[in-house]
Amino acid sequence: MEQIKNKQIVLASRPIGWVEESNFRLVETILDAPDEGEVLVRNSYLSLDPYMRMRMDAVKSYAPYVELGQVMVGGTVGEVLESNYAGLKPGDLVTGSLSWQLYGVTKGKNLRKVETTKVPLSAYLGIVGMPGVTAWYGLNEIGQPKASETVVVSAASGAVGSVVGQLAKLKGCRVVGIAGGKAKCDYVTETLGFDACIDYKSPDFRQAFKAAIPDGVDVYFDNVGGEILDLVLASLNPFSRIALCGVISQYNQSEPHGIRNVRSLLVNRARLQGFIISDHLEKWAEILPQLEKLVAEGQLKYRESVAEGLENAPAAFIGMLKGENFGKQVVKLT
Amino acid sequence: MEQIKNKQIVLASRPIGWVEESNFRLVETILDAPDEGEVLVRNSYLSLDPYMRMRMDAVKSYAPYVELGQVMVGGTVGEVLESNYAGLKPGDLVTGSLSWQLYGVTKGKNLRKVETTKVPLSAYLGIVGMPGVTAWYGLNEIGQPKASETVVVSAASGAVGSVVGQLAKLKGCRVVGIAGGKAKCDYVTETLGFDACIDYKSPDFRQAFKAAIPDGVDVYFDNVGGEILDLVLASLNPFSRIALCGVISQYNQSEPHGIRNVRSLLVNRARLQGFIISDHLEKWAEILPQLEKLVAEGQLKYRESVAEGLENAPAAFIGMLKGENFGKQVVKLT
């Protein structure tokens, strides 16, 4: 084969507080040809997700952290260029974890073939991908909402939160979102159909939140942690459930926010459970077809923030951590 | 019937910070005769338990709070003096919730007949009563320990904690207690058989705790909340479970301790669940015979702090909130 020049974004240094562009470096490499059982893929889109922030710290966590000089991890969709794997052929569209780079080589069994007649390719990084499955699992398996219960979700216009709220509406729940700014809140109520959405940047956020949950909170799907978690704890109903999915508000704090309303968990016999969707790979095959069907039918809506070009991935990632994205953040690579 | 003079301790005022004796008042009343279906009981022992502190505040909780001037709620054991209920006769020993008073009248169906050939009467307020059932339920139903896992329990020498640790030892777990002072810690390891017990009043508490859990924490049975909960969160293992049973460290704080290590619940996919044993009355009939058997066989040990006389109940209760009791706190009334 002819040599293919690859471009990668590697971790150049570990962030102290906020991530900066200088924490990343763009490098050029020459691609190895695929071995037996391997596939060469040209990545079309890269997914940017909050969990990546944790991987930048040299801290023991549920997954290995990225070493300095190593390519940043990330989910991708793309097109097969060469295949030494029986299940895939050139031209096939696939999703996998091929990192922040233009091309990737991996074992064919690590890729999943997708088709784009009903949903566009990039959606396999969002609503019919990891964020969608995360939303479904956390809401249904941990939140276990019943019709007419009140479900609250933070980062409500985001890749996960937007799906959580729409699924809860389909179950007949009262759904209250929390998001940053009027534009996002308008989208959450008008396009996604939540019953209410409260702007956490508004000076009367606390009163507005209280007013939006006259019957208290039965399920909280938490993407942010910190002060908003504390606020929701104060309004729990008996036997309420909290799915702890993310702590994006805490990544850049030198000192994490101290949660004061723990007593509410006792008094209300509440259950709080952290989860990581990669622990539940056995559920993906059950969940994804449901999401694909709902998207194809127009029952689940979504939107994307698309950054153009690999070199703009760091800036887009930093923007996402600050809430500057609007919907699922992806990077268009080709 | 001849008139019986009763003595009661009523709530005189609501505590601000620490409970004081002036929050209680001893009153004398004349007992009403039991109606149809009712029973008159002379209380032998009154149970003092941390949950009573919550009932003193005019705050919405899982159970109604005590009104000013109302007799303080509490579990009791005693002897039937008169019965208009088919299931009980004079001389029967019973346990129930007859409050901080010398005599009580209640519906017979609210009482449970007990026998004292194998365990003494007062134990029905402790190890074979509400605290014992609480320990069993929280450990087994929420903690779900497996052999060789590490189980940590706070207030380890207390009515609940002592049973939690002994039950976990019987399951083959490594059990680490946390208690206040050397005497209690010695009792926990030497008499109750825990693998280790760490004195939270010791200046090197944090290091000693870390050293006692070389393999991290799989199950935490929390009776205290606050800083100790935060410390344990920092040492959770993946898929660990926390039974949130009490927050005794927080009752007298003007401002609750802020829990900083919430991210650990996410990273470790941990489950934290608050529970109140009165929600699970259907389990008592299953749990109590197991506890009675283990106590009768000498496999579960316990100790009591016995205050003498109803008039000393307030001081004993205040002492218990400060950790001055050693084992299950009861008040001998007759």
Quote the percentage of chain A above a pLDDT of 90: 92
- Residue of A261, A263, A281 to mutate when probing chain B, most B C-beta within 10 A: A263
The CA distance from A21 to the nearest CA of chain B, in Å, is: 25
B269·A273 Cβ contact <8 A: yes
Rounded to whole angstroms, the Cα distance separating B12 from A324 reads 56
Q: Look at chain A and count its residues.
A: 334
With CB atoms and an 8 Å threshold, state whether A266 touches B245: yes
Q: What are phi and psi of A279, to 5 degrees?
A: -75, -15
Average pLDDT score over residue span A61-70 = 92
**Rounded Cα–Cα distance for residues B69 and B16 (Å):** 17
CB contact under 8 A, B274 and A265: yes
Whether residue B232 contacts residue B212, with contact meaning beta carbons closer than 8 Å, is answered with no
DSSP conformation letters of B226-247: HHHHHHHHTTEEEEEEEEE---
Q: Which residue did the predictor score with more confidence, A331 or A255? A: A331
Cα separation, A121 vs A93, whole angstroms: 8
The label of the residue with tokens 């069907």 reads A293
Q: How far apart are CA A217 and CA A235, in angstroms?
A: 6
Task: Name the average pLDDT for chain A.
Answer: 95
Ranges of chain B whose pLDDT falls below 50: none
pLDDT at A127: 97
Residue A184: which pLDDT band, with cuts at 50, 70 and 90?
Answer: very high
Across the interface, do B263 and A256 touch by the CB < 8 Å criterion? yes
* Contact across the interface for A265 and B244, Cβ inside 8 Å: yes
| pLDDT, tens digit (0-9, with 9 covering 90-100), for A32-52 | 899 999 999 999 999 999 999
The three-class DSSP label of residue B107 is strand
Give the residue carrying structure tokens 């390719």. Answer: A121
Class of domain A130-277: alpha beta
For every residue of A141-200, DSSP letters joined together read III---TT-EEEEESTTSTTHHHHHHHHHHTT-EEEEEESSHHHHHIIIIIS--SEEEET
- For B115, residues 6+ apart whose C-beta sits below 8 A from its C-beta are B93
Q: What is the pLDDT of residues B268-287, one digit of tens each?
A: 999 999 999 999 999 999 99
User: Residue A1: which pLDDT band, with cuts at 50, 70 and 90?
Assistant: low
User: Where are chain B's structural domains?
Assistant: 5-126+303-332, 130-277
Note whether B156 and B179 are within 8 A (CB): yes
CA-based nearest distance B212→chain A, Å: 20
Judge whether B239 and B132 are in contact, CB under 8 Å: no
A266–chain B nearest CA distance, Å:
4
Best of A65, A248, A267, A275 to substitute, by most chain B Cβ atoms within 10 angstroms, is A267
Nearest chain A residue to B61 by CA distance is A267
Estimate the share of chain A in helix, then strand, then coil, as percent rounded to the nearest 5.
30, 25, 40
In this complex, how many residue pairs, one in chain A and one in chain B, have their CB atoms less than 8 Å apart?
A: 104
CATH architecture designation of domain A5-126+303-332: Alpha-Beta Complex (3.90)
Residue B162 has what pLDDT?
A: 97
Q: Contacts for B16-20 with beta carbons within 8 Å, 24 or more apart?
A: B17/B252, B17/B254, B18/B252, B18/B318, B18/B321, B19/B53, B19/B56, B19/B252, B19/B314, B19/B317, B19/B318, B19/B321, B20/B318
**Interface predicted TM-score (ipTM) over 0.85:** yes
Q: How far is A88 from chain B, CA to nearest CA, in Å?
A: 35
Nearest by CB to B274, which of A54, A256, A270? A270
Residue A233 vs residues A216, A225, A236: alpha-carbon distances, Å: 10, 11, 5
DSSP sequence for A233-260: HTTEEEEEEEEE---GGGTT-SSPPPB-
Q: How confident is the model at residue A60 (pLDDT cuts 50, 70, 90)?
A: confident
